[in-house]
Amino acid sequence: MERKRSDNIAEELEGLILGGVFTPGERLDEVQLADRFAVSRTPLREAFHRLALSGLVEHIPHRGTFVRQPGPVELIEMFEVMAELEATCARLAAARITDEALDDMRATNARCLAAVEAADHDGYYHENERFHAILYRQSGNGFLEGECLRLHKRLMPFRRMQLRLRGRLRQSMSEHEAIVEALQRGAADEAAEALRAHVAVQGEKFHHLMAGLKQAAE
Amino acid sequence: MERKRSDNIAEELEGLILGGVFTPGERLDEVQLADRFAVSRTPLREAFHRLALSGLVEHIPHRGTFVRQPGPVELIEMFEVMAELEATCARLAAARITDEALDDMRATNARCLAAVEAADHDGYYHENERFHAILYRQSGNGFLEGECLRLHKRLMPFRRMQLRLRGRLRQSMSEHEAIVEALQRGAADEAAEALRAHVAVQGEKFHHLMAGLKQAAE
DNA sequence: AAGTGGAAAATTGTATACAAAATAGTTGAC
DNA sequence: GTCAACTATTTTGTATACAATTTTCCACTT
């Protein structure tokens, strides 16, 4: 294993946690991981702090660093907040959005649709992310944009899970089109409501998915 | 100077930054501060990470850690987001709030008013914080509550500044009463709008305050 | 004279050694 | 036999030494 930097370590650890190698609540052993990555404990602690910033792990003084995979309840709550934040973006963007951005959203949407046709999940995911990123930017509120990106990233693995649900992709696409349409008309409340519903439904779908998995495990 | 722990160092640094000892954009010299606190660089770096978590400083790899006091524009943006988050709390709380919590809010409000009468700024500030904390809790969304507390804390010094504005305290009190009243009736949209306005006005007041200070400095 | 190259200084990142704290395990008393 | 206290072990927190990177400054070339 090649020599790592703390940046890479944080990234790799993120992958391991999201990949399910470390179970939620598990303590991340510093010496063990230091040995695994062939580095000392110091950069590992740095990496832990970075993961704590994105909320993936929790550090308790004199106790250790623990995997903080959110449970179903907290996840629903996070989707609820995400829905509100995106709705706010939409409300603000409806008044401020530029024609260029509207065109960009339409183009992104088109590429998104193409990805759906080609069953290209990664492509869909990428374009979908771009669609939302444009919306955040067009809110005109840089702080709001940052908070949205942060939460969006944190929900990333859970959004990804539900892409497998049949028919969800196409439904999501038509929702995107309705959003663009409302933004173009400058209908703030309508756009906000469309976004709220668009994100909220993801939380619900996820809930169903989780319930299904739980049932299957029993 | 006594021996410090990284927790205390983070706290003390926070005070120094908020107290204006370190100017925004300034680089925090590790060796210099390590010498000042009579500790090594290691716990200082830990403290930096903690401050980065609350957004007070920014760490740039191989460049250093910089004071990240937000400018007027970002501050307005933050108040805008805070207003939306609190409005969401209100909307959710309107349906879920318990009678005990309503009584608690009224009692807190009463103590708040007493503090105003006694010109007890610290007391007012404390009770006001409690008022909002109850609201966050009553949203029933633990994640939302956490995000609100985080942002509220970050805006703390700026809220505090505007308490000096004449008449603002009493106005704020009557807004609180209107909020409680709307919550009691279960009027979600009304409560949300009341909160949004209540917080947004703080952002505006702050804006005026900053403009005044800037003018006075010229 | 201005711009580029490189060497030296300053500063951040990492490794190792040591200290402090928490947990676990064991012995003793009741 | 159970609970409590003490010791031993494990684990986190800190100090110091060293490596790597960035920046600065000076010399040299065009």
Q: Which residues of chain B lie closer than 8 angstroms to A141, CB-CB?
A: 77, 80-81
CA distance A171 to B184: 38
Q: Which of B78, B62, B50 is nearest to B152 (CA)?
A: B78
Q: Over chain A, what HEC string results?
A: CCCCCHHHHHHHHHHHHHCCCCCCCCECCHHHHHHHHCCCHHHHHHHHHHHHHCCCEEEECCCEEEECCCCHHHHHHHHHHHHHHHHHHHHHHHHHCCHHHHHHHHHHHHHHHHHHHCCCHHHHHHHHHHHHHHHHHHCCCHHHHHHHHHHHHHHHHHHHHHHHCCCHHHHHHHHHHHHHHHHHHCCHHHHHHHHHHHHHHHHHHHHHHHHHHHHHHC
B68 interfacial to chain A (CB closer than 8 Å):
no
Compare CB distances from A81 to B52, B77, B143 and report the shortest one's residue. Answer: B143
Nucleotide minimizing C1' to CA distance for residue A64: D12
Q: How many CA atoms lie within 13 A of B121 on its CB side?
A: 9
Average pLDDT over residues B147-173: 82
What is the helix (H) or strand (E) element at residue B65, kind and residue range?
Answer: strand B64-67
For the stretch A42-66, pLDDT in tens is 999 999 998 988 888 999 999 999 9
Is the pLDDT at B3 greater than 50? The verdict is: no
For the stretch A8-48, pLDDT in tens is 888 888 888 888 899 888 999 999 999 999 999 999 999 99
A200 interfacial to chain B (CB closer than 8 Å):
no
Query: How many CB atoms are located within 10 Å of the residue B143 CB?
Result: 21
What is the distance in angstroms between the Cα of B103 and the nearest Cα belonging to chain A?
A: 26
| Residue A63 contacts strand C, CB under 7 A | yes
Is the pLDDT at B211 greater than 50? The verdict is: yes
Is the pLDDT at B165 greater than 90? The verdict is: no
A85 interfacial to chain B (CB closer than 8 Å):
yes
| Residue A46 contacts strand C, CB under 7 A | yes
CA distance B80 to A139: 11
Q: What is the pLDDT of residue A153?
A: 85
Question: The complex's ipTM?
Answer: 0.82
For the stretch A165-175, pLDDT in tens is 777 888 889 99
B96: three-class secondary structure by DSSP? helix
Nearest residue to D20 via alpha carbon and C1':
B62
Q: Is B157 exposed, middle or buried (0-12, 13-18, 19+ CB in 10 A)?
A: middle
For the stretch A79-126, pLDDT in tens is 999 999 999 999 999 999 999 999 999 999 999 999 988 888 888 889
Average pLDDT over residues B196-213: 79
> A131 pLDDT band (50/70/90 cuts)?
very high
Q: What is the pLDDT of residue A3?
A: 45
Amino acid making up residue A181: E
Is the pLDDT at A213 greater than 70? The verdict is: no
Nearest chain B residue (CA) to A74: B143
CA distance A167 to A109: 17
> B181 pLDDT band (50/70/90 cuts)?
very high
Average confidence score pLDDT of chain B: 88
Nucleotides of D under 7 A from a protein CB: 11-17, 21-23
Residues 6+ apart with CB under 8 A from A123: A111, A114, A115
For the stretch B16-43, pLDDT in tens is 888 889 988 899 999 999 999 999 999 9
A53 interfacial to chain B (CB closer than 8 Å):
yes
pTM of the predicted model, to two decimals? Answer: 0.85
Pick among B57, B60, B77, B151 to test the A interface (most A CBs inside 10 A): B77
Q: Which one is predicted more confidently, A3 or A134?
A: A134
Q: Which residues of chain B lie closer than 8 angstroms to A53, CB-CB?
A: 49, 52-53
